[in-house]
Structure 1
Amino acid sequence: MSNYPKTMKALVAYGLGDYRFETAYPTPECGPDDIIIKTEGCGVCAGDLKCQHGAPKFWGDESQPSWVKPPFIPGHEFLGKIVAIGENVKGFEIGDRVTADQIVPCGECRFCKDGHYWMCQPHNIFGFQSDNNGGMAEYVRYPKTSVVHKVPQEMPLDKAMLIEPYACSKHCVDRGQIGCDDVVVISGAGTLGLGMITYARMKNPKLLIVLDMVQSRLDKAKEFGADLVFNPQNQDVVAEVLKLTEGYGCDIYIEATGHPSSVKQGLSMIRKLGRFVEFSVFGQETTVDWSIIGDSKELDLLGSHLSPYCYPFVIENINNGKLKTEGLITNCFPIEEWEKAFEYATGKYGDFKVCITF
């Protein structure tokens, strides 16, 4: 055990559209199975923005119940140093630098019991429930079933802040099962797309093609390992990919934009018997002729969610430089300036990844 303050700075969501910065919010108590960390930094995710803006996926509507449980502290991309440990916790000590999978599995549902903990049925994720507060606060509690990982003390914060997004990127690329003969297209070169690109490069595909509508992202994609980059606004990317593949199409298409047009584009440029991996969260429905999936091409259509079993590899390979990270953390703001951090995280000023620090 250790001593830490009774109150802390925190951003607290009390309800739909009611986010408040507090200077004396109660710090989490350390139970016998818990770990308490002092937060170093917390990334601002698109999910945090969508939740703050009131998306029905979080707050519910006539077709779905509310998933969030206010009051809660947002943030699921965070790390820090251990300041308190419960008496039953083994393998960790005060001062260890740690992070955790964003999901806190229940350990009891069918998915947890058969090893698919990231699809845990209750699906409690840091930063959305009152009993599972996130990293936009000075202190955070990791409960008993958290999947906690040690982070090297020497890893710079601008690299460590990419562990969670890159773990999601790795799982997505793994779903695609890239081989050395594959022509791979990654649509979308934001932070997560770039994490996919630098990892996919390690798989040594025959050709790695990246699509995005922002030139600075395409430049970074080239730097991170893309063989070719195309802007769908400026050229017929379907025609370009068909031209590069003798008219067959790409072997694997990874969708990381969340735009319906990217889905249609992918279904058009993927070859028969290809693999289509869907990663994004969408703001609107996508309408396509589904016969292309079955009758026309017999595609493998795969989803990707969270980052199971990915953290150890990502931590090791960010630390040794094999996964490129340069220039992705573009702005960090103190928690007092959370509104500015959320604004910059929209990408309207050209940022890749924005974080909150303490």
Structure 2
Amino acid sequence: MSITKLETAPSVSAIPQTMQAVICHGPENYRLEQVSTPTPAEDELLMKVEAVGVCASDLKCYHGAPKFWGDENRPAWAQEGVTPGHEFVGTIVSGSDAALAHHRLQIGDRIACEQIVPCGDCRYCQRGQYWMCGPHDMFGFRNYDGAMAEYLIVPPKARTHKVSKALDPQHAAFAEPLACSLHAVERADIQFNDVVVVAGCGPIGLGMIAGAKAKNPMTVIALDMSDEKLALARKCGADVTINVGREDAVQLIKDMTDGYGADVYIEGTGHPSAVGQGLNLLRKLGTFVEYSVFGSDVSVDWSIISDDKELDVRGAHLGPHCWPAAIKMIESGSLPMDEICTNQFPLDQFQEALDLVGDTAGTSVKVSIIPGSDQ
């Protein structure tokens, strides 16, 4: 597929009155529709979307996971009528002088936005913990349309970051998952002598590997069931790779560490079996970082966490304060971005993009949608 980057912003008169957008009408009911192009309010900006990544959480939302649609234990996170897509980059094509000044932007700037649109008023926002905002409005899930569309409104409370125009669109949009990966690495508090294990070599896991390697620990070990993804993990910084479909990762890692186990385990697969795997391969007093969104409940022996090993178990959510580092890493050319961003689709093939993300046996890594592109 040939993708043409948007080098200059269109004039206001060139912005069409209608556009194509994917609309969520509930689980497994997403439709491409012709809708009115949004008009920015005085405090908003209009972005022409260049690329939007398709995340595993997009797929789980599409299939109706309770995490997004609610159950007896949690309220719904997703809304019908919203356009999905939270990993995006685009060019600012319209907005008032006041709105541009608020974001320190100009017409024609290329930006990425953090997934969350924090309220600024709740306890978490007031304490500087904006990524855990109480209302938790999110592009592509709740109250703000996402980027599986030709244009998108950037609200005043969006957290925006400039991105180089020299990057391919799909590479630039990788800033969101990479920032999330780096936050998980920050939560791990990696030390120089640590043996760090990253479970999963998908887009998030590859970013975790690159981030962990940048912390300069003793060893970074990557786990996956795909030899192709493990080879890519080595290019992202893994020192050792283990195919968990053929090898006993727990025993191999204990053998490598004089029987003690790894110091840090970062879970990025979203598969229930990876949780027990991590608990078993960690040493006593080790650190377990959980990033994934799970499609079903996970059961483990909690006595491993407490009485057996006294583990530190930490969650990780979004990519707070990691966006500048993520963008810098992509712009530096240090990551094999062409091998990470494997598949791009035009907007009218959004369903094929979702289905490919769900094909775990396939060879795709990062799947993206490029609005305006042709097959």
The alignment's TM-score, normalised by the length of structure 2, stands at 0.91
Aligned residue among 324, 335, 339 for 1:327:
339
2:28 corresponds, among 4, 14, 17, to 17
**SS of 2:116 mapped into structure 1:** coil
Match of 2:128 in 1: 115
- The answer to whether 1:269 aligns with 2:281 is yes
Partner of residue 343, structure 1:
355
Shift of 1:233: 2.2
Q: CA RMSD in A?
A: 1.5
- Residues 16 and 269 from structure 1, CA distance in 2 versus in 1: closer, same or farther, beyond 3 angstroms? closer
Amino acid at match of 1:264: G
Q: Secondary structure at the match of 1:293?
A: helix
Of 114, 122, 130, which residue of structure 2 is paired with 1:101? 114
User: Would you say the 8 A contact 1:199–1:323 is kept in 2?
Assistant: no
Q: Is the 2:52–2:170 contact (alpha carbons within 8 Å) kept by the matching residues of 1?
A: no
- Aligned partner of 2:183: which letter? H
1:214: how far off? 1.2
Residue 179 of structure 1 pairs with residue 191 of structure 2 = yes
Pair 1:39 & 2:39 matched: no
Structure 2 partner of 1:212: 224
SS across alignment from 1:305: coil
How far apart are residue 283 of structure 1 and its match? 2.0
Q: Distance in 1 between matches of 2:307 and 2:20?
A: 56
Q: Offset at 1:152?
A: 0.8
TM superposition shift of 1:62: 4.2
1:274-293 mapped onto 2 (5 Å cutoff): 274-293=286-305
User: Residue 47 of structure 1: SS of its match in structure 2?
Assistant: helix
Corresponding residue for 1:84? 94
1:192 counterpart residue number: 204
Distance 1:289 1:15, change over 3 A: closer
Count residues in correspondence: 356
| Deviation, structure 1 residue 108 | 0.6
- 2 CA distance for matches of 1:134 and 1:155? 21
2:179 aligned residue: 167
Which residue identity does 2:84 align to in structure 1? P
Counterpart-to-counterpart distance in 2, 1:169 and 1:349: 22
Residue 174 (structure 1) shift: 0.8
Seen in structure 2, the aligned counterparts of structure 1 residues 75 and 158 have a Cα distance that, compared at 3 Å, is closer
Deviation per residue, 1:87-113 (Å, 9 max, x gap): 422111110001110000011101111
1:104-143 alignment to 2 at 5 Å? 104-129=117-142, 131-143=143-155
Q: CA deviation at 1:281?
A: 1.1
- 8 A Cα contact 2:65 2:296, kept in partner: no
Q: Structure 1, residues 45-85: CA drift from partner, whole Å, max 9, x if none?
A: 11111112122222223443332222110100111100112
Residues 157-183 of structure 1: CA distance to partner in whole angstroms, max 9, x if unpaired? 232121111011000011111121111
2:165 counterpart letter in structure 1:
Q
Kept in 1, the 8 Å contact 2:234–2:240? The answer is yes
Cα displacement string for residues 134-157 of structure 1 (whole angstroms, at most 9, x for unaligned residues):
000000011111000111111222
**Which residue is equivalent to 1:144?**
156
Q: Give the distance between the partners of 1:198 and 1:62, measured in 2 at CA.
A: 38
Task: State yes or no: 1:27 paired with 2:40.
Answer: no
Q: Distance in 2 between matches of 1:355 and 1:198?
A: 21
Q: SS in structure 2 opposite 1:219?
A: helix
Q: Is 2:79 aligned against 1:69?
A: yes
Name the CA distance, whole Å, in 1 between partners of 2:115 and 2:352: 24
Q: Matches of 1:144 and 1:250 in 2, distance apart?
A: 44
Identity of aligned residues (%): 47
Counterparts of 1:67 and 1:299 in 2: how far apart (Å)?
30
Deviations 1:167-201 (A, max 9, x none): 11000011111121111111111111011111211
Gapped runs of 5+ residues in structure 1? none
1:56 aligns with 2:66: yes
1:318-354 deviation line (CA, Å, top 9, x unaligned) = 1012344241111111101111111112234321011
Q: Give the letter aligned to residue 351 of structure 1.
A: S
* SS of aligned partner of 1:327: helix
- Contact 1:210/1:230 (<8 A) preserved: yes
